Amino acid sequence: MLLRDCAIDNLRERKKAQTTTALVDSAYGLVAERGLGAVNADAVAARAGVSRRTFFNYFPSVEAALAHGIGEFLEDLKGRLNDRPADESVMESLELMLGGPADPAFLQRILQLGSVGAPDLQARAVLHGAVDAWLPWLIDHLRRRLPAGTDALYAVHLALAVTAGTQAAIHVWAERTDRALTPESCAEFQALLARNVHTLRTGFDAAAVV
């Protein structure tokens, strides 16, 4: 009986996770196509194949669905950064995280988040608010990973440079690909991330000419 109850609970949790993902993906897809101001809960629910009531059982608003997607991505990024070897330098970790071999789904999530905010000021405010709320964690992480005695300004500067550089890569990627998510465009984005890390390591003067 206990095993049966456990199996039912696991199935319920899987279905809940699948519905959450479907709603979040629907919200991002519609906002990318129409802009946040033109998207409502009914449209998101219909695209996800669920009822309006189901949408509101999961999220109070379309903005909340977007924020949930950002939160999932940032939590995943936290885990990836925390899993880097303790003896690896911060810059090596960043280079491997952003410019090395990457999970295609991970790259697509970055682009999905960035492409939604690019043409829509309202959506951009949601995205930037979530990233701003995440920055203190990143700064603290960098301070713990940097050598003892590192200038306090360095960690803050580096955290802001990483986020700004990623946004710059998304901007150039969007110009070149018209925000089309394909394997080829993801590879283009990864190359831009690698150049961003190189710029952080060598300086803007050295990276001005490609």
Per this entry, what is the length of the chain? 210
DSSP assignment of 124-181: HHHHHHHHHHHHHHHHHHHHHHSPTT--HHHHHHHHHHHHHHHHHHHHHHHHHHTT--
Domain ranges of the chain: 62-207
pTM: 0.78
Mean pLDDT of 88-93: 84
Predicted confidence (pLDDT) at residue 207 exceeds the cutoff of 60: no
Mean pLDDT of the chain: 84
At residue 148, φ and ψ (nearest 5 deg) are -55, 140
- C-alpha span between 67 and 123 (Å, rounded): 10
The answer to whether residues 80 and 97 touch, using CB atoms and an 8 Å cutoff, is yes
Residue at token pair 């101001």: 37
> What pLDDT, on the 0 to 100 scale, is given for residue 77?
83
Backbone φ, ψ for residue 122 (5° rounding): -65, -45
Band of the pLDDT at 143, cuts 50, 70, 90? very high
Q: Is 29 exposed, middle or buried (0-12, 13-18, 19+ CB in 10 A)?
A: middle
Pick the CATH number of 62-207 from 3.40.140, 3.30.43, 1.10.357, 3.90.228: 1.10.357
